[in-house]
Amino acid sequence: MDERCIGFVEWYDRASGTGWIVPMGGTTPVRAYRDDIEGECGSLSVDQQVSFTIELGEGRFVARHIRP
Protein backbone atom coordinates (compact mmCIF):
# COMPACT_ATOMS: atom_id res chain seq x y z
CA MET A 1 0.00 0.00 0.00
CA ASP A 2 1.66 3.25 -1.13
CA GLU A 3 -0.89 5.58 0.44
CA ARG A 4 0.22 7.29 3.65
CA CYS A 5 -1.75 6.55 6.80
CA ILE A 6 -2.01 8.44 10.08
CA GLY A 7 -1.87 6.57 13.36
CA PHE A 8 -0.71 6.59 16.96
CA VAL A 9 2.12 4.71 18.63
CA GLU A 10 0.58 2.09 20.91
CA TRP A 11 3.86 0.76 22.30
CA TYR A 12 7.56 1.25 21.51
CA ASP A 13 10.65 -0.27 23.12
CA ARG A 14 13.68 1.94 22.53
CA ALA A 15 16.13 -0.78 23.55
CA SER A 16 14.96 -3.25 20.90
CA GLY A 17 13.80 -0.62 18.38
CA THR A 18 10.43 -2.28 17.86
CA GLY A 19 6.84 -1.33 18.58
CA TRP A 20 3.25 -1.14 17.40
CA ILE A 21 1.27 1.59 15.64
CA VAL A 22 -2.53 1.66 15.45
CA PRO A 23 -3.82 3.25 12.22
CA MET A 24 -6.42 5.96 12.79
CA GLY A 25 -9.90 4.46 12.55
CA GLY A 26 -8.54 0.96 13.03
CA THR A 27 -8.09 -1.41 15.92
CA THR A 28 -5.39 -3.77 14.63
CA PRO A 29 -1.85 -2.52 15.28
CA VAL A 30 0.94 -2.85 12.72
CA ARG A 31 4.55 -3.62 13.62
CA ALA A 32 7.08 -0.77 13.67
CA TYR A 33 10.86 -1.02 13.45
CA ARG A 34 13.55 1.59 14.20
CA ASP A 35 15.05 1.21 10.69
CA ASP A 36 11.77 2.47 9.16
CA ILE A 37 11.67 5.73 11.17
CA GLU A 38 12.56 8.71 8.98
CA GLY A 39 14.37 11.75 10.34
CA GLU A 40 17.06 12.19 12.94
CA CYS A 41 15.20 11.13 16.10
CA GLY A 42 15.17 7.37 15.35
CA SER A 43 12.69 6.72 18.15
CA LEU A 44 8.98 6.90 18.93
CA SER A 45 6.91 7.66 22.04
CA VAL A 46 3.64 6.12 23.21
CA ASP A 47 0.59 8.08 21.94
CA GLN A 48 2.74 9.98 19.41
CA GLN A 49 0.97 10.69 16.12
CA VAL A 50 2.86 9.48 13.05
CA SER A 51 2.31 9.02 9.33
CA PHE A 52 3.47 5.88 7.54
CA THR A 53 2.82 3.41 4.74
CA ILE A 54 1.74 -0.18 5.31
CA GLU A 55 3.36 -3.22 3.68
CA LEU A 56 2.81 -6.92 4.17
CA GLY A 57 5.85 -8.29 5.97
CA GLU A 58 6.53 -11.85 7.11
CA GLY A 59 2.97 -12.88 7.94
CA ARG A 60 1.88 -9.50 9.30
CA PHE A 61 1.47 -5.90 8.25
CA VAL A 62 4.43 -3.61 8.92
CA ALA A 63 4.67 0.19 9.11
CA ARG A 64 7.26 1.60 6.69
CA HIS A 65 8.51 5.14 6.01
CA ILE A 66 7.41 6.28 9.49
CA ARG A 67 7.39 10.05 9.92
CA PRO A 68 7.04 11.41 13.48
Domain ranges of the chain: 1-40+63-68
Please state, for a pLDDT cut of 70, what percent of the chain lies above it: 97
The torsion angle over the Cα atoms of residues 56, 57, 63 and 66, rounded to 10 degrees, is -120
pLDDT at 60: 92
Q: In this structure, which topology does domain 1-40+63-68 adopt according to CATH?
A: OB fold (Dihydrolipoamide Acetyltransferase, E2P) (2.40.50)
Determine the 3-state secondary structure of 36 from DSSP: helix
pLDDT at 1: 53
pLDDT at 32: 97
Question: Which pTM does this prediction carry?
Answer: 0.91
The parts of the chain modelled with pLDDT lower than 50 are none
pLDDT at 40: 87
